[in-house]
Amino acid sequence: MTTRWILIASVDFPPPPLKWLFAFVEIIGTLPKQLQGLQQLFCMPYIYIAHGFRLPDKNSHQPALRYSLPFHGQWTVINGGVDKSTSHSWGLPTQRYAYDFVILDENGQSCSGDKTLLQNYYCYGKDVLAPADGIVVDVKDQLPDSRTYGNGSVDHAAKDIRGNYVVIRHADKEFSAMAHLLPRSVKVKVGQQVKRGECIAQCGNSGNTSEPHIHFQIQDIKSFFASAGLPISFQNIYVERARNYDKFDPRTAPERDENDASTIQRGYIVANMAFHEVNGTMDCE
């Protein structure tokens, strides 16, 4: 009986043409997000020129109004602050003063159980609120949630870094943007007037994100890519250092200036104080 050995160790699988095809498909699939990255890069000179090479900061910017947090209850700031050491993305002018919020439990965890299942994240599906009175100027609602891998990786198949989002004009040169919203959860449309605390959508995982959270920023024009981010001044908020935050985020969380009641930063639990007593709240149905 003759034994025939099947040699597979030296076989290149998939063959080179298929590898090229897979690579091409991946490039095409991620092209929209790559183009948005280039758009942010190419808009940076315009932003600097528009502001005379002096971007707004916490000392020079005079906000037209103070904002409420865009959610009910206690959430934790996991990205964001008013200086370079705590900034969401200091090198990106539009997101320099942006914030990312999640809900953490007492053990510093953002979910319970399997981290690849979106419904296991505490903030998933929670209401997102208008941070102040204004007029809706831009909306996207139909993008699917991105996959979450539970290890900090993002889904490269996302078509828009913002995912689903709402942009609201609050004053001259002051617009808020809330991103990564749940598909088909947006309750408002362009041209609609909204009140502070009104439910506009729900928290999701759409766009360039590793897990469900709310991305919130104030910018000086409608465009997400060509705007300068503005330091946010909050009103009537509760702030407390998050316990066991290091279990979620290994980065050191700098101490906050306790004398400044209007700003927040990474590593702190935040909430609106007595919000309903002032303006009322309108939940999503």
Q: Where are the domains of the chain?
A: 75-278
Question: Which residues partner with 145 through β-bridges?
Answer: 206
| Residue 2 confidence (pLDDT) above 50 | no
220, 173 Cβ separation under 8 angstroms: yes
Return the percent helix, strand and coil in the chain, to nearest 5.
15, 25, 60
Q: Is the pLDDT of residue 87 over 70?
A: yes
Helix and strand numbers (H, E) in the chain are 2, 12
Element housing 132 (H / E): none
pLDDT reading at 21 higher than 90: no
Please give the average per-residue pLDDT across 134-159, as a whole number. Answer: 94
Model confidence at 7: pLDDT above 80:
no
Task: Tell which phi-psi region holds residue 208, choosing left (phi > 0), alpha (psi between -120 and 50) or beta.
Answer: beta
Q: Could you tell me how many residues make up the chain? A: 285
Phi, psi angles (nearest 5°) of residue 121: -85, 130
If one compares 154 and 80, the residue with the highest pLDDT of the two is 80
Tell me if residue 272 falls in helix, strand or coil: strand
The string of pLDDT tens digits covering residues 89-102 is: 999 999 999 999 99
Position 164 scores a pLDDT of 98
Statement: residue 190 has pLDDT above 50: yes
Cis peptide before 14 (omega within 30 of 0): yes
Q: CA-to-CA distance for 234 and 131, rounded, in angstroms?
A: 9
Tokens of residue 95, six digits: 């997101």
- The pairing of beta strand 214-219 with beta strand 199-202: unpaired
Prediction pTM value = 0.85
What is the per-residue pLDDT across 169-179, written as a single tens digit (0 to 9) for each?
Answer: 999 999 999 99
Mean pLDDT of the chain: 87
Of 64, 284, 46, 57, give the one whose Cα is nearest residue 169.
64
| Residue type at 18 in one-letter notation | L
- Joined tokens for residue 240: 């407390």
- The CATH class given to the 75-278 domain equals mainly beta
Q: Give the dihedral sign, CA 99/102/107/113.
A: negative
Could you give the CA distance from residue 48 to residue 186 in angstroms, rounded to a whole number? 33
d(CA 179, CA 163): 6
Minimal CA–CA distance to 132: which of 257, 18, 233, 269? 233
Higher pLDDT, 39 or 62: 62
Distance CA 285, CA 273 (A): 23
Kindly give the pairing relationship between strand 214-219 and strand 99-102: antiparallel
Range in 39-53, 110-124, 181-195 with the lowest mean pLDDT: 39-53
Q: Higher pLDDT residue, 186 or 20?
A: 186
Average pLDDT, stretch 115-119?
98
Query: What is the DSSP-derived secondary structure letter of residue 274?
Result: S
Band of the pLDDT at 4, cuts 50, 70, 90? very low
Q: Is the pLDDT of residue 197 over 90?
A: yes
- 229-277: pLDDT as tens digits: 999 999 999 999 999 999 999 998 888 888 888 999 999 999 999 654 4
As a whole number of Å, the end-to-end CA separation of the chain is 75
pLDDT band, very low/low/confident/very high, at 284 (cuts 50, 70, 90) = low
Q: Is the peptide bond before 231 cis (omega within 30 degrees of 0)?
A: no
Question: How far apart are alpha carbons 126 and 139 in whole angstroms?
Answer: 18
Q: Flag whether pLDDT at 122 surpasses 60.
A: yes
